[in-house]
Amino acid sequence: MTSTALLLTASLLFLLAVVTGVVTVVVLSRRPRHSFRTDDPKEILRRRYAAGEIDEAEYRHRLSILTNS
């Protein structure tokens, strides 16, 4: 290979690496960040109570139903 061809190949590989890096960052940034969440009913109930969607009485009532079943 001549030095020009080698320089062109190196430049293309560098450009490919940069494009791959940018695509990877974009794809990973669009993933949901809270993948640790579960469908456990008690966990859902805790999150709803913490978010203020239900009051303490409702939380305790529903929790007692879940623990007794």
Domain ranges of the chain: 38-69
User: Residue 44: which H helix or E strand, with range?
Assistant: helix 41-50
pLDDT of 64 higher than 70 = yes
The per-residue pLDDT for range 2-56, each reduced to its tens digit, is: 889 999 999 999 999 999 999 999 998 887 776 566 688 999 999 999 999 999 9
Alpha-carbon distance 27 to 21, whole Å? Answer: 10
Alpha-carbon distance 59 to 48, whole Å? Answer: 8
Assessment of whether the complete model's pTM goes beyond 0.85? no
Reduced to 3 states, what is the DSSP secondary structure of residue 23? helix
For 54-60, what is the mean pLDDT?
Answer: 96
